[in-house]
Amino acid sequence: MKLGSVFSDNMVLQADHNIKVWGTANRSETIRVEFNGKTAATRAGLDGKWEVELPGLVYGGPYKLNVYGEDTLTLKNIMVGEVWLCAGQSNMRMTVRGVLNAKEEIANARHRNIRFLTLPLSGSTEPQESFDAVWELCSPSTVANYSASGLQ
C-alpha cells in the first residue's frame, strides 16, 4: 500500500474543505483511513488505485493520519490550515539563501507552523502521478533552500 506523493509527515491540509486521500494498493484491497476521529473506507480498484474523502476540519493540529489495509501507514505532525501554492519563473526559484539579509533570515527561521513542499523542476505534457518531495518544517536547518517569495 502506498499513499500519493503529496502525503507525508509534516504536511498541511487545507482547512474548511473536504480532505481527499488517495494511493495505491493491491487489487481489491480494503482501505480504511482515519484522521482526527473521522473515518472513510473504500476498496482499491482493479488497477490498485483508491481514494477516500473525509469531512473538512477547522484550523488545528498536530494530527496523525492512519491508513489501514494489508499494511498500516501512519503520518505524523499534520496540520490543518492554509495551503498556498507558489509558482512562477526564476523569481520563485530564488531561495532564502540568496536574499540580502540571508544569515539573519536563516537564523530566525523558527516557524514550526510553516511547512514547505518543494517540487522538483521537471516538465511534462502529461499529468504526473508521483513526484519526489516531502513536506518539511521551516527551521534554520531547512529554510535556506526555500523560495524567498514563498516564505514572505
Kindly state whether residues 76 and 19 are assigned to the same domain. yes
Question: According to the model, what pLDDT value does residue 131 have?
Answer: 86
Question: According to the model, what pLDDT value does residue 105 have?
Answer: 94
Host domain of residue 137:
90-151
pLDDT at 102 over 90: yes
Number of separate domains in the chain:
2
Sheet strand arrangement including 72-81: 12-14, 72-81, 60-68, 30-35, 38-43
| Spatial distance between the Cα atoms of 10 and 15, rounded to a whole number of angstroms | 15
pLDDT (average), residues 69-94: 93
pLDDT at 128 over 90: no
pLDDT at 33 over 90: yes
Domain boundary among 81, 108, 126: 81
How far is residue 145 CA from its own chain's centroid? Answer: 17
pLDDT at 132 over 90: no
pLDDT at 90 over 90: no
Exposure string over 113-126, b if 16+ CB within 10 A, otherwise e: ebbbbbeeeeeeee
Kindly state whether residues 13 and 40 are assigned to the same domain. yes
Query: Nearest Cα to 66, choosing from 93, 91, 94, 41?
Result: 41
pLDDT at 18 over 90: yes
Quote the percentage of the chain above a pLDDT of 70.
Answer: 100
pLDDT band at residue 21 using 50, 70 and 90 as cut-offs: very high
